[in-house]
Amino acid sequence: MTFFKDLTPYSFKRSAIRTNSVNVGWLDIAHTYQVGSVPLEMIEALWRFCRAPVVRTRGFHVCNLCHASQPGPLRVTQGDETLKLSTAEIRVFGSNKIYAAPDLIYHYVTKHAYQPPDEFVVAVISGPSPGTEAYQELLEQLRLN
């Protein structure tokens, strides 16, 4: 996995670098990360972002925090819906920043107790949500596709 410290300028995919884009949730077993709880509301909202990935990565990343890493994309289920994670990135809009995270962040939060920065948690819960016009407009301005 590619490691980036939280809230550092996003640089992973050159064509997706935008002003004020910062990293969140690029974890790797070689680096410590913040552990703690997040509101259930945040987990539910984060799922909506993972359903609407905006940047596809080549191949897939593997969660190396898991002891037995499975080959291929990671299947994650919430309710009656299953997503294949580890092949894309999401974008979350804060008041003055754009948070760039791997879609695996959902797995990190739910399975590895990763606690993202507070400002990210707030943006996921209170910021524009995928499926809304506000989100779509912001996304179009980024021209990521």
The one-character DSSP state at 131 is T
Could you write out the DSSP letters of every residue in 43-105?
HHHHHHHHTS--EEPSS----TTSSSPPSSSEEEEETTEEEEESSEEEEEE-SS-EEEEETTH
**DSSP-derived pairing of the beta strands 21-23 and 88-93:** unpaired
Segment interacting with Zn ion (CB under 5 A) among 19-27, 57-65, 91-99, 131-139: 57-65
Does 104 engage in binding with Zn ion (CB under 5 A)? no
- In the block, tokens 């804060």 appear at 94
Does 66 engage in binding with Zn ion (CB under 5 A)? yes
Residues in contact with Zn ion, counted by CB under 5 A, come to a total of: 3
Does 100 engage in binding with Zn ion (CB under 5 A)? no
Q: Which of 43, 65, 138, 144 binds Zn ion (CB under 5 A)?
A: 65
- Min CB(79)–Zn ion separation in Å: 20
**3-class state of residue 125 by DSSP:** helix
Segment interacting with Zn ion (CB under 5 A) among 22-30, 31-39, 55-63, 134-142: 55-63
- Min CB(2)–Zn ion separation in Å: 15
- Separation of alpha carbons 133 and 117, rounded Å: 26
Segment interacting with Zn ion (CB under 5 A) among 33-41, 60-68, 75-83, 133-141: 60-68
Q: Which residues bind Zn ion (CB under 5 A)?
A: 63, 65-66
